[in-house]
């Protein structure tokens, strides 16, 4: 563990992995876990790790589970190495939560819940009438976004810089027969890391979508890594409502840790309120 954080370990301590994170996230998650009194230690990997190596690590008998972040397409790449994948994760081609149940790996998607919560809240607060949406990018969040937007009754399509990758993503999701339609679009979902780029406005394909939108949702959280959010700045300057990825992250984290804790101790019932208080969410 980092010198910045000390946690007591014993022979019954279980580990909880993540494919990305920092010393501050190690401190934050372990502090919250200790507040709830679980014998569980959160640990992140530094650098790249393959889907096979990550799932092999989670399968160890002393590991409770692992979080899968969007980096390098891992949310889709881990799927072949799992013993069970819930239907929602199969449909969206995205697993962000893996549970080790006696050596068998179970894959879940709590991102859909998080995005549904964030969009529902953001659209309501904006008081905008949202009937159409476009997803920009073909990363792991694109499948989640397509599913959620359809569930909300919003007409949706996907585009991106790389048309071949977008076409492949549509095929993988089984939506290649859903016709593309032209904008303007009421809602733009940014499924790329472009929000932290100082060259944001030079991507005219993306900016042309944003400038005509009523609302923009960005799944990335540049501020988390002490980076400037150029997309948020652009939206503020142009009177466009902005829904932060943090709203999605918080909602999905609550569901994710309920899965982790239930697997660790099924007799102990941890509520949403318990997790909110331990992590200091919504403060």
Both 97 and 139 in one domain: the answer is: no
Q: Place 64 in a pLDDT band, splitting at 50, 70 and 90.
A: very high
In a domain, 135, yes or no: yes
- pLDDT winner (highest mean) among 22-31, 146-155, 192-201: 146-155
Domain boundary among 109, 133, 166: 109
Q: What is the pLDDT of residue 1?
A: 45
Q: What is the pLDDT of residue 138?
A: 85
Look up the domain containing 224 and give its range. 112-246
Work out the mean pLDDT of the chain and round it to a whole number: 92
Q: What is the mean pLDDT of residues 162-190?
A: 92
Render pLDDT for 31-61 as a digit per residue (tens, 0 to 9). Answer: 999 999 999 999 998 888 999 999 999 999 9
> Which residues participate in catalysis according to the annotation?
75
Both 69 and 185 in one domain: the answer is: no
Both 157 and 65 in one domain: the answer is: no
Q: Which two tokens mark 279?
A: 């992590």
Q: Is the pLDDT of residue 137 over 60?
A: yes
- Nearest 5°: the CA angle 227, 229, 231 is 155
Render pLDDT for 227-276 as a digit per residue (tens, 0 to 9). Answer: 899 999 999 999 999 999 999 999 999 999 999 999 999 999 999 999 99
Looking up residue 211, the CATH number of its domain turns out to be 3.40.50.720
> In this structure, are residues 44 and 26 in contact, taking their beta carbons and an 8 Å threshold?
yes
Q: What is the pLDDT of residue 24?
A: 78
In a domain, 263, yes or no: no
Both 154 and 56 in one domain: the answer is: no
Both 97 and 174 in one domain: the answer is: no
**How many structural domains is the chain composed of?**
2
Both 52 and 93 in one domain: the answer is: yes
């Amino acid at each position: 563990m980092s010198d910045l954080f000390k946690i007591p370990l014993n022979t019954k301590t279980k580990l909880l992995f993540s494919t990305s994170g920092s010393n501050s996230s190690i401190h934050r998650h372990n502090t919250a876990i200790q507040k709830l009194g679980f014998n569980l230690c959160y640990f992140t990997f530094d650098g790249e790790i393959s889907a096979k190596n990550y799932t092999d690590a989670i399968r160890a008998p002393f590991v409770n589970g692992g979080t899968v972040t969007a980096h390098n397409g891992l949310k889709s790449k881990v799927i072949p190495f799992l013993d069970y994948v819930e239907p929602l994760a199969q449909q969206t081609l995205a697993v962000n939560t893996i549970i080790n149940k006696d050596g068998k790996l179970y894959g879940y998607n709590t991102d859909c819940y998080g995005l549904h919560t964030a969009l529902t809240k953001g659209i309501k607060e904006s008081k905008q009438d949202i009937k159409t949406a476009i997803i920009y990018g073909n990363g792991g969040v694109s499948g989640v976004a397509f599913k959620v937007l359809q569930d909300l009754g919003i007409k949706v399509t996907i585009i991106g810089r790389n048309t071949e990758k977008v076409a492949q993503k549509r095929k993988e999701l089984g939506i290649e027969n859903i016709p593309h339609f032209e904008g303007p679009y009421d809602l733009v979902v940014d499924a790329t890391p472009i929000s932290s780029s100082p060259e944001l406005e030079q991507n005219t394909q993306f900016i042309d979508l944003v400038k005509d939108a009523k609302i923009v949702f960005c799944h990335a959280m540049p501020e988390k890594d002490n980076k400037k959010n150029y997309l948020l700045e652009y939206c503020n300057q142009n009177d466009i409502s902005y829904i932060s990825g943090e709203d999605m992250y918080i909602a999905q984290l609550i569901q994710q840790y309920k899965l982790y804790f239930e697997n660790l101790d099924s007799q102990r019932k941890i509520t949403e309120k318990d997790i909110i208080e331990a992590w200091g969410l919504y403060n």
